[in-house]
Amino acid sequence: MPSNRSERINEAVRAELSSRLREVKDPRVQGTMISITRVEVTADQKYAKVYVSFLEADKAREAMKGLKSAAGFLRRDLARDLQLRCTPELQWVLDDSISHGTKMLELLRSLEIEHEETDES
């Protein structure tokens, strides 16, 4: 279980990266809506897994390439603004939990409709 300090670092990195994404000039990143869902920084602060979700799933692959390309730029800004003991290397991870949740909700709604049609018969 992460400590309060770890949680604060995770949240600070997430907030800073979220604000910095707008400054990335790569058209693959600018061309889609990106949300950083969570960040997990290792205990030694050498690596950070950054979980990202995309509004347009069809652009996710290219946007991930753009994010990996911009990782150095974003890491440099993190080092300057957060002043951590060690600035973590960013590892981008596609978080499909939002799209998965949407699919589950649609399935549940379809079951409710089928259940209502059965009750009316």
Per-residue pLDDT of 105-115, as tens digits, reads: 888 888 877 66
Tell me what pLDDT residue 32 has. Answer: 84
Residue whose token pair is 């069809």: 58
* Residue, of 48 and 96, whose pLDDT is higher: 48
Domain ranges of the chain: 4-96
Q: Exposure of 62 by Cβ count < 10 A (0-12 exposed, 13-18 middle, 19+ buried)?
A: middle
Amino acid at 19: S
**Cα angle, residue 2 at apex, residues 21 and 67 outer, rounded to 5°:** 20
List the strands of the sheet with 47-54, edge to edge: 34-41, 47-54, 89-94
* Residue, of 120 and 27, whose pLDDT is higher: 27
Tell me what pLDDT residue 8 has. Answer: 92
- Percent of the chain past pLDDT 70, that is, above it, reads 91
Instruction: Collect contacts of 68-72 with beta carbons under 8 A, ≥24 apart.
Output: 68/92, 69/26, 69/28, 70/24, 70/26, 70/29
Among 3.80.30.20, 3.40.50.1580, 3.30.300.20, 3.40.50.11540, name the CATH number for the domain at 4-96: 3.30.300.20
Tell me what pLDDT residue 31 has. Answer: 80
Residues 6+ apart with CB under 8 A from 67: 24, 29, 34, 52, 92
Res. 121: pLDDT tops 60: no
Lowest average pLDDT, out of 7-11, 54-58, 104-108, goes to 54-58
